Structure 1
Amino acid sequence: MTWLSTIPTFVVTMIVFFGPGLAILAAAGVRRLNLVSLAAPVSFSLASVLAVILDKVHLPFNPILYYLATVIVAAIVFLIRKLLLRRSGAADSSGFGVLASNGPIPLGPGRPRWLSPVLIATATIIPAAIVSYRYLKGFGGPNNFSQTFDNVYHLNAIRFIADTHNGSSLTIGNMTDTSAGFYPAAMHDMMALVLMQSNSTVMAVANVGTIIIGAVIWPLGCLFLITRIIGNRPVAILCAGVFSAASSGFPYLMVGFGILYPNHTAIALLPAALGLAIDFLGMSKEKSSSFWPGLLFLIAVIPGLALAHTSVIVALFGFAAPVVIARLIRSILDARSGVAGKRHLLFWFIFTVGYFLVTALVWIYVRPGLDTAPWTPIQTNARAIGEILSSAPMATTASWVLLTMTLIGLYVIVRNFKQYWWVLAIYVFGGALYLIVSAWPVGNFRTFWTGAWYNDTFRLAALLPTVTLPVVVIGAEWIFRRISASITSLRDRGLHEPGLLAPALRPIAKRLPAYSAIAVMMVLILGSGAAAQGGTLSNVQNRIGLIFQTTPTSALITSDELTILNSVAAIVPTSDVVVSNPRTGGSLVYAIANRQPLTPHIFGIRSPDEQLLLDHWDEAAYNKSVCPVITKLKAYWALDFGDSEIVPGPQTFIGLRDLMDKSAPGMQLVKEVGTARLYKVTACG
């Protein structure tokens, strides 16, 4: 399978990820950059919430109902907006109930209108091309997969939802009746919808979906966030696009570690959600018509964010806290100056108190148990601070371009402290979380602040680009605008001040268009973006390539084991169940061969029947309790992938131990490749 053959999968993925959101938001009057930036977050919310609702009413989660729900929601939104517009008596609907920066990018007098969409397209295409290239090179091929233990769950969950038409995050658990429970499944829901509509493999769907999330959804969210903080300004938008693909922390880190698909998805959605929070709180550089659009759209994207991964909701509450304080301070100043009344101040005071109470509850209770948070500090305080400033978390090579832009951005923020202090507070808060988790000693204080992320440095490192990018863009815009102004000034002075330019250069200067400085500035922006694509990102790309490579000694599935798995579909009937030690990767028989494993995930609560087979399957010839269970579950097959486990655990699955030396009676060796074997029980008749 080649990447060229996945073009239909890319098309279907774009439709699933963006189509419903585009329809619903367009019906709500959202346009241009706001429309495309928020489309995917709204689609993720629709799919994940719909999956929960359909499970409750015993209806299948499938593409037909997904698109039907899109039409219904879009129609309701359109009718409500028209009704509100009529009641308001507004003559022009273009500015009614819309977000800030909903219009075209202001490019100045004399500039053609087509430059605005071209600028947005450029700011989107550049990071999309960069991230796509690095992912394509890192993945190697469409059917390659990450050799990490999390992948057993994620790939199987995509297959499970597509097979069962049940994608409820409330019940998916570990994909068995015994282990049913909550797990954030928004990403799995969306990719399962793609799988249902494409003639593709689970691995290809996961890889294509990951590319779209990192290369398209993330940069668009960054553009949206920057327009809230800096405004709908051309230089800021272009810088945001270019530098959104320049950090090793995200999107690459979550694919090179884990593999943490849910975190990768949720963090890609985070900038858009944070931008909506800024808009709702009235702190956007350009104001919306009221706080209602920001609030309603924030409510629309939060379910998708929460059901992609709950830890990112915790991050959103934390990152938005300085904005809430800034809103309260502004309301105090407005009340003192007479711009707003005391009711306005009272509202925001009550809101702020309530917000921090809810944030405290979320921070304390939305977190995993300590038994799943084993990670310890990895470095010193000084090194952690250096990594934060240089956008080089997890001991990667410092990005000198991002370091320079960050320092300049901090300078600009200090110079304009009243305007940007809350942006600095967000940056400091995000950096402090990384400092605490990576450099502070294990204890209650560290766990309080970072327990929502399993006390894991990788997960908090991936959040740094969200809080760093605004600082970087503030610095980059400041320096590039000054370069542009200097070039324009030199040109004008050269034309009007005798002797400043050599006589031979004056005719050339006259022929230069007035906006030549803009062209130079764009070249500098693109050049700085290219310079930021240094050794750090190449190293991360190489790490992804190593993790996605299947070799004779791979950690999860070796090349011999993959050969066995690829042959299972032609041997094992579709109704039968395959037993394996889940820690050796055999459970991937579900994702790869579409045959039901006894244990779809490495972890999970086992039923008595499941545990019996995990402990005694190879005793079928002489243990009278085994065959009835084998027959009941149709678990006639077993994969023997040796005793090399991806994640050793306290529980030993001894039910396949005698297969390793071929001493178990009543077993037929059906296929053998190297040390990987497929057995069928013959002792049960």
Structure 2
Amino acid sequence: MSAWCAAWPALVAACGVLVLPGLVVALAAGLRGIPALGLAPALSVTTVSVTAVVAGRLGVPFGMGVVALGAVVLSAAMVGVLALARSLGLRCPEARTVGHLPDLAGLGGAAVGGVCAAVAVARGIGRPDVFPQTFDAMFHLNAVWTALRGGDASSLTLGTVAAPERAAGFYPAAWHGVTVLVAQLSGAGVIVSASAVSVAIAGVVWPLGCVFLVRQTVGVRPGVLLAGGVLAAAFGATPHLLLSYGTLWPNALATVLLPAVLACAVTVLRVPEGGIGHGGPIEAPASWRTDELRAADLSLGRFRAGLVAVAVVPGMALAHPNAVLSAVLLVTVVALVSGWQWVARPRTSTARRVAVGVAALLLVSTELWVVAQSPVFAATRRTSWPARQGLAQAAGEWALSAPVRTPVPWLAAALVLVGCVTAWKRPSWRWLVLAHAAAGAAFVVVAGSDGPVSRTLSGPWYDDPFRLAALLGVTAVPLATVGLAHLADGVGDRAAASRWPERLVAAAAIGFVVVTGGVYTGSNTRVVATWYAGQGMVGSGEESLLRRLPELVPAGSTVAGNPWNGSVLSAPLGDRAALFPHLQGSWGPDRALVAADLSAAGSDPDVCPAVRRLRLGYVLSGPVSFWKGDWRQAAYRGLDVSRAPGFVPVASGGRLTLYRITAC
């Protein structure tokens, strides 16, 4: 871990970028304590990603200065909207605190869980300068390098990385913008900055969001908040899985924002009323029912929660659009349960019940259309991954909190099941069980079936069970917390007869979970390491050559090469632009010609003019070891110049040899 100690500037920068801009906005919106910290990362992502778009449109270089200005503007907007709401007579009371002890307990739990999750990610990666040799990682690393060098991290232009001849191309760039800022602030390279962001996502963003969700769902009891933070580190599916698999860094960032959004939705819809820790008609243990603990939304409020949720959505969409659909799925369950509870009241008129029913039908129909027919997800609906297991196995994996064969967190999984039973007995909490079941049903259908229903409904998630598996922790963490609280209270009530302090029993139970959280670190380390361990793209020899490019290739010169042989990494590893910065893309005529015929530069009169227009000076030639035989590799057959005249070898490393182009 000594290498990570040397990367502390990048780690500090990643935590700062993901928390501080949004915290300024949250405080301006009147939030305090856990709500402010829980929502800070989501507001930071909005600030960074939206500022990047605006800066790109204005031609202003992207950096921390413009992000700070963006935070000020968004903060002013929050203050203005709240003032306007009050002037119009809307209920928007000043934030109230429920005491320092719950906040301290929640932050303590988030710290313990965050350390466990961060250590798992850091150990799984190995060293901060190690990168996952996966298909998607090649694009993301090159996109960060391009944005860093060009000063443009806008989602409206990042797609041009794989389509260089286009003037614009959309690609959700929130993660890339965050990573660019980390590189700028710390001076670290692209790969180290990406690794630092992964550690911060797992160790800071995720546990803070989980504690906030537990607070708004389960209540502000200090022991509950402490347990919720610790349990955030228990599930390998979230957030560890997407930080390695794929590698789906943008999707991982978007997914860890879901707890904060769901917490706001729960507050707006007032589903917690009547639940444990909130008083009301549902019987609860006396230890949960004090004046201090009855209203977890005292420091948030419905209007403020809705306002902040609206501000968070753009950042989530610019991190990854499918997270918005994931949020809609979960929030729809909340809305339907809340609506059902409302219409079930004896005093509700028939007309209002009909209106609520029609609204629910329209809501669900609209969502189905967006998922199955909307042109927004037309491209992703064309993606298909064959099912690797049956429906029964997929259902079993979800029930054991171990989807896509992630390790089974036995104690945490048992707590989730206890939490499901406990929550189902309380009508105001049934939404949590149903939301967990809805996300699980989506995973089971996609993971266990290739049928028309799976293909129709899985478009936004690329028909990929891994992306849906990562939703598990959003509902599993609060359910496990409910389960633990129920067991601790039951033991405490029985122990009270023998004068054994209930609080000590609860503390012992929470302490056991803390220890277990540390144990889960090992299994979650293996989840992350799974896709960081491969060397299919480059080995140590090839990587050494690529890192020497700054001393071998003049600045400003572009390096050609079959991207599938590792030359795609010449920019993130060697700080020299790659002619083909992704394994596939929409290449213009000159690039297509070079890919097919560069080796014939000495005899084909069309090649050298294209080489000069592209400012090519060097080519990396060598065999492919990544996904051998993939049909897309044939497009680059002309880049094997090992036996062609007009190319002088400069240096070699592993399978690769760097040639200087002399034919032109």
Match of 1:55 in 2: 56
Q: Which digits, 9 at most, give the CA deviation of each residue in 1:591-635, with x for residues without a partner?
A: 112211111111210100011111111222221111111111111
Q: Which digits, 9 at most, give the CA deviation of each residue in 1:15-41, with x for residues without a partner?
A: 211111111110111000000000010
Contact 1:393-1:461 at 8 Å conserved across structures: yes
Match of 2:133 in 1: 147
Matched, 1:530 2:515: yes
Q: CA deviation at 1:5?
A: 2.0
Cα separation, 1, equivalents of 2:654 and 2:203? 39
Match of 1:501 in 2: none
Match of 2:291 in 1: none
Matched, 1:250 2:238: yes
Contact 1:223-1:237 at 8 Å conserved across structures: yes
Match of 1:124 in 2: 110
Cα separation, 2, equivalents of 1:197 and 1:373? 37
Contact 1:130-1:245 at 8 Å conserved across structures: yes
Contact 1:123-1:241 at 8 Å conserved across structures: yes
Q: Which digits, 9 at most, give the CA deviation of each residue in 1:630-651, with x for residues without a partner?
A: 1111111111231223472335
Match of 1:293 in 2: 304
Q: Which of the numbers 572, 576, 600 marks the counterpart of 2:581?
A: 600
Match of 2:390 in 1: 380
Matched, 1:464 2:444: no
Q: Which amino acid in the other structure matches residue 565 of structure 1?
A: L
Q: Which of the numbers 572, 582, 601 marks the counterpart of 2:563?
A: 582
Q: Which amino acid in the other structure matches residue 304 of structure 1?
A: G
Q: CA deviation at 1:123?
A: 1.0
Distance 1:294 1:357, change over 3 A: farther
Q: CA deviation at 1:524?
A: 1.8
Distance 1:233 1:358, change over 3 A: farther
Q: Which digits, 9 at most, give the CA deviation of each residue in 1:339-390, with x for residues without a partner?
A: xx99987886675455334322322224353685231112223322221111
Cα separation, 2, equivalents of 1:344 and 1:220? 38
Q: Which digits, 9 at most, give the CA deviation of each residue in 1:553-595, with x for residues without a partner?
A: x211111110111000112122111111112221111111221
Q: Which digits, 9 at most, give the CA deviation of each residue in 1:510-565, with x for residues without a partner?
A: xxxxxx54244223223134336557x63442353353347xxx211111110111
Contact 1:149-1:556 at 8 Å conserved across structures: no
Distance 1:527 1:474, change over 3 A: same
Q: Which digits, 9 at most, give the CA deviation of each residue in 1:149-174, with x for residues without a partner?
A: 21111111111111112222122114
Cα separation, 2, equivalents of 1:3 and 1:16? 19
Q: Which of the numbers 226, 230, 233 marks the counterpart of 2:214?
A: 226
Q: CA deviation at 1:655?
A: 4.6
Cα separation, 2, equivalents of 1:224 and 1:558? 43
- 3-state SS in 2 of match to 1:2: helix
Cα separation, 2, equivalents of 1:125 and 1:290? 26
Contact 1:399-1:532 at 8 Å conserved across structures: no
Q: Which digits, 9 at most, give the CA deviation of each residue in 1:628-682, with x for residues without a partner?
A: 11111111111123122347233513454542xx311011101012332111101
Q: Which of the numbers 392, 403, 406 marks the counterpart of 2:402?
A: 392
- 3-state SS in 2 of match to 1:141: coil
Cα separation, 2, equivalents of 1:45 and 1:89? 26
Aligned ranges for residues 546-561 of structure 1 at < 5 Å? 547-549=531-533, 554-561=535-542
Q: Which digits, 9 at most, give the CA deviation of each residue in 1:416-457, with x for residues without a partner?
A: 2x22222121111111111111222x1211112223212112
Q: Which of the numbers 98, 104, 122 marks the counterpart of 1:104?
A: 98
Match of 2:615 in 1: 634
Q: TM-score, normalised by structure 2?
A: 0.90
Bigger shift: 343-352 or 12-21? 343-352
Q: Which amino acid in the other structure matches residue 377 of structure 1?
A: A
Cα separation, 2, equivalents of 1:163 and 1:351? 49
Match of 1:304 in 2: 315
Q: Which of the numbers 437, 457, 474 marks the counterpart of 1:428?
A: 437
Cα separation, 1, equivalents of 2:457 and 2:475? 17
Question: Identity over the aligned pairs, expressed in percent?
Answer: 27
- 3-state SS in 2 of match to 1:254: coil
Cα separation, 1, equivalents of 2:631 and 2:519? 39
Match of 1:42 in 2: 43
Distance 1:86 1:650, change over 3 A: closer
Matched, 1:3 2:8: no
Q: Choose 1 or 2 for highest CA Rg.
A: 1
Distance 1:66 1:682, change over 3 A: same
- 3-state SS in 1 of match to 2:7: helix
Q: Which amino acid in the other structure matches residue 177 of structure 1?
A: P
Contact 2:540-2:654 at 8 Å conserved across structures: no
Contact 2:155-2:318 at 8 Å conserved across structures: yes
Q: TM-score, normalised by structure 1?
A: 0.87
Contact 1:228-1:284 at 8 Å conserved across structures: yes
Cα separation, 2, equivalents of 1:654 and 1:403? 48
Q: Which of the numbers 481, 490, 493 marks the counterpart of 1:473?
A: 481
State the Cα RMSD in Å: 2.5
Cα separation, 2, equivalents of 1:452 and 1:432? 15
Aligned ranges for residues 149-298 of structure 1 at < 5 Å? 149-175=135-161, 176-178=163-165, 180-285=168-273, 286=295, 287=297, 291-298=302-309
Matched, 1:650 2:635: no
Contact 1:144-1:549 at 8 Å conserved across structures: no
Match of 1:508 in 2: none
- 3-state SS in 2 of match to 1:96: coil
Contact 2:55-2:66 at 8 Å conserved across structures: no
Distance 1:205 1:423, change over 3 A: same
Match of 2:492 in 1: 484
Match of 1:509 in 2: none
Distance 1:84 1:490, change over 3 A: same
Q: CA deviation at 1:177?
A: 3.3
Q: Which amino acid in the other structure matches residue 143 of structure 1?
A: D
Contact 2:113-2:517 at 8 Å conserved across structures: no
Cα separation, 2, equivalents of 1:344 and 1:360? 24
Q: Which amino acid in the other structure matches residue 65 of structure 2?
A: I
Distance 1:291 1:347, change over 3 A: farther
Q: CA deviation at 1:412?
A: 1.1
Structure 2 gap segments, 5+ residues each: 274-294
Q: Which of the numbers 332, 335, 342 marks the counterpart of 1:331?
A: 342
Q: CA deviation at 1:260?
A: 0.9
Cα separation, 1, equivalents of 2:392 and 2:81? 55
Structure 1 gap segments, 5+ residues each: 106-112, 493-515
Q: Which digits, 9 at most, give the CA deviation of each residue in 1:303-322, with x for residues without a partner?
A: 11111111111111111112
Cα separation, 2, equivalents of 1:243 and 1:198? 31
Q: Which amino acid in the other structure matches residue 592 of structure 1?
A: L
- 3-state SS in 2 of match to 1:226: helix
Distance 1:256 1:194, change over 3 A: closer
Contact 2:112-2:514 at 8 Å conserved across structures: no
Contact 1:577-1:637 at 8 Å conserved across structures: yes
Cα separation, 1, equivalents of 2:209 and 2:618? 47
Contact 1:60-1:166 at 8 Å conserved across structures: yes
Bigger shift: 31-40 or 120-129? 120-129
